[in-house]
Amino acid sequence: MSAAKSIESCSRFDYALSAYVDCELDPDHAVDLESHLVQCPPCFEQVRLLRSLRASLKRARPSGCPDALRARVAAAVAHEQARDAAQSAEARPRLVHRGYAIALAAAAGVVFVVGVARRPDASAEAVKADAARAAFDRAASTESVEVLLDDLVTQHAQPLPPETTNPEDLPRFDPFVGVPVRRPHFQSIPANFMGARVHTMRDRRAALLQFVVRGNHRVTVYMFNSRAVPVQKAQPILQPRVVRERPVYVGNINGYSVAAAERSGVGYALASDLGDDVSTQLVLAAMQ
């Protein structure tokens, strides 16, 4: 790619980098951008820096609201309420003052919430909030597994063209997927690597790898962050097995054999037209 073409391509995607890092970019544009990032080290590095910045901001602890500011806001709200009450008989509404009072009231509400959250007697409410958040996270993780498996079968049945056919490009997928992406070597079953791409699933991403085994049988493998999408949540869609002391989840979705397992935070899900036993062997071999 010439320098002029490279600059033009980068400027076309520059506006979308922040939205992409914040998971606010629609899937179609995300796929286009990811295709560009695989081939463009400067944009790839910019995405990495944006992710690092977001992570640093999340780790920063917000300071509490000073008592002096809380008192000034409360006084200003009381003052505006008194003025509105005194002038309520006037025919002309005091829109500016009322809008100002609303803004201050909103700010006071934020201050009040911060103050309540810091009081010891709010601990019971905090426990309830944590329990509700945990229940929501469990439900969301179950839904994420269902979405991932359904998406895997769809992509296997109607495959998109790969972004790369070179397995040495796979480490460049790591920042997008959140785990190391390497080519699986199916030891006892010879497999030809056909290509790979980063695939977007709502707010998650997986590396999609395509293989052909035993002559003409296609196999599609997803590699993903199993801490964000726990494989064990695949029940009852897939049935658990224990093979060589490892839990494997196996089943049939829309006529395709599907197997899933995880190792060291990396999830593997595999779809094929082979039987459950062969799919189980393949997903275990992929983790070696």
Assess if residue 153 is contained within a domain.
no
Alpha helices by DSSP H, the chain: 3-14, 17-21, 27-39, 41-59, 67-86, 95-118, 123-157, 174-177, 276-286
Residues 74 and 33 in one domain: no
Residues 244 and 188 in one domain: yes
CA angle 117, 121, 127 (to 5 degrees): 70
Q: Would you state the pLDDT for residue 96?
A: 41
The answer to whether the pTM exceeds 0.85 is no
**Mean pLDDT value across the chain:** 77
Which of the pair, 284 or 19, is modelled with greater confidence?
A: 284
Q: Would you state the pLDDT for residue 105?
A: 45
Boundary-marking domain end, from 59, 81, 97? 59
Assess if residue 254 is contained within a domain.
yes
Assess if residue 86 is contained within a domain.
yes
Assess if residue 137 is contained within a domain.
no
Q: Would you state the pLDDT for residue 125?
A: 57
pLDDT at 270 over 90: yes
- CATH code, domain with 203: 3.40.1000
What percentage of the chain has pLDDT greater than the value 90? 36
215-239 average pLDDT score: 92
**Structural domain span for residue 268:** 162-286
Assess if residue 136 is contained within a domain.
no
Tell whether the torsion through CA atoms of 272, 277, 282 and 283 is positive or negative: positive
Residues 10 and 55 in one domain: yes
Q: How confident is the model at residue 77 (pLDDT cuts 50, 70, 90)?
A: confident
Q: Would you state the pLDDT for residue 214?
A: 83
Assess if residue 126 is contained within a domain.
no
Residues 31 and 110 in one domain: no
Q: Count the domains in the chain.
A: 3
Assess if residue 147 is contained within a domain.
no
Q: Would you state the pLDDT for residue 126?
A: 56
**Of the ranges 59-68, 84-93, 133-142, 164-173, which is most confident?**
164-173
Q: Would you state the pLDDT for residue 225?
A: 94
Residues 202 and 271 in one domain: yes
Assess if residue 170 is contained within a domain.
yes
- The whole-angstrom separation of Cα 128 and Cα 15 is 40
Residues 218 and 277 in one domain: yes
50-66 average pLDDT score: 65
Peptide bond into 236 cis (omega under 30): yes
Residues 54 and 77 in one domain: no
What percentage of the chain has pLDDT greater than the value 70? 69
Residues 193 and 278 in one domain: yes
9-19 average pLDDT score: 73
